[in-house]
Amino acid sequence: MVNPTFDLIHHHASVRRYKPDPVPASVIETVVAAGQRASTSSYLQEYSVIAVTDATRRDRLALLSADQAFVREALVCLVWCADLARLERVCQLRGYTQVTEYTDTFLTAVMDCSLAAQTAALAAESLGLGICYVGALRNSLPEVIELLGLPRLVFPLFGMTLGWPAKEALIKPRLPLASILHHETYNPDQEPSLREYDTAMIATGIYQGRQVPTPGKPEDVEDYGWTEHSARRVSKAARTGIRLVLEKQGFALK
């Protein structure tokens, strides 16, 4: 099946090099407005977006996001936030008390925000813009919250750089569909599709021909692939203080 929407989706790539050409405010508004058309749990729309265009603030945001150059280079960084503060005011206006201390409440806000962000990303790419998600801003959550003036019940989930691509970005292969799509019940037999994916990822050259000992056979070596790369990442603890920040922002996660 081929149509322009499928073509756009399948040509997504993270863009980390941008031209110095400005992104008009009207374009930012158009992209975010498109994101608003995403599905939303119970029509609550529990998210907000902070558009950071000021060079000084953007530089600070880049520094807080692992000092990544592309965050500084992009002329726009959208910070997507789970937001229950607006509903807090709604409840005050109508004489109710919002219940915010349960995990599902936070999860619905995260899902609302993520759906809106991805819809906005597709809209941006349809206009010829490039985007890259910035999860590293969660490295420095208290500082990001202060920088953006986020009140209680607003939590920054990720950034999204936005700009005109300076070069064509690499479209990375995704996991085989057999790893993702299960029929009726979960299929735990992932090894064949994971081996297939390792081969595809190694062929892109992004791992630069690295080799590692073969698991269980340290005397042998094999190419460094996605499974090795991903296993290394998830075997290390990261951002271990997030729950404390969530609690401070009013998300108790009971």
**Of 170, 201, 218, which marks where a domain is finished?**
170
Task: Please indicate, yes or no, whether residues 95 and 123 belong to a single structural domain of this protein.
Answer: yes
Give the model confidence (pLDDT) of 12-46 as tens digits.
999 999 999 999 999 999 999 999 999 999 999 99
Q: Residue 218 has what pLDDT?
A: 81
Task: Please indicate, yes or no, whether residues 102 and 206 belong to a single structural domain of this protein.
Answer: no
Task: Please indicate, yes or no, whether residues 62 and 137 belong to a single structural domain of this protein.
Answer: yes
Q: Residue 216 has what pLDDT?
A: 85
* Residue in 160, 156, 158, 159 with CA at minimum distance from that of residue 131: 160
**109 within a domain of the structure (yes/no):** yes
Give the model confidence (pLDDT) of 76-134 as tens digits.
999 999 999 999 999 999 999 999 999 999 999 999 999 999 999 999 999 999 999 99
**70 within a domain of the structure (yes/no):** yes
d(CA 200, CA 214): 18
Task: Please indicate, yes or no, whether residues 130 and 15 belong to a single structural domain of this protein.
Answer: yes
Task: Please indicate, yes or no, whether residues 67 and 106 belong to a single structural domain of this protein.
Answer: yes
Residue 158 contacts residue 138 (beta carbons within 8 Å): yes
Q: What is the CATH number of the domain that holds 33?
A: 3.40.109.10
d(CA 212, CA 191): 18
The model carries a pTM of 0.94
Task: Please indicate, yes or no, whether residues 126 and 208 belong to a single structural domain of this protein.
Answer: no
Residue 219 has pLDDT above 90, yes or no: no
**Of 151, 170, 189, which marks where a domain is finished?**
170
Residue 2 has pLDDT above 90, yes or no: no
Q: Residue 209 has what pLDDT?
A: 84
Task: Please indicate, yes or no, whether residues 139 and 187 belong to a single structural domain of this protein.
Answer: no
Domains: count for the chain? 2
Length of the chain: 254
Containing structural domain, residue 218: 177-234
d(CA 212, CA 228): 8
Give the model confidence (pLDDT) of 144-202 as tens digits.
999 999 999 999 999 999 999 999 999 999 999 999 999 999 999 999 999 999 999 99
Task: Please indicate, yes or no, whether residues 146 and 218 belong to a single structural domain of this protein.
Answer: no
Task: Please indicate, yes or no, whether residues 160 and 181 belong to a single structural domain of this protein.
Answer: no
Per-residue pLDDT band for 1 (boundaries 50, 70, 90) equals low
Task: Please indicate, yes or no, whether residues 166 and 182 belong to a single structural domain of this protein.
Answer: no
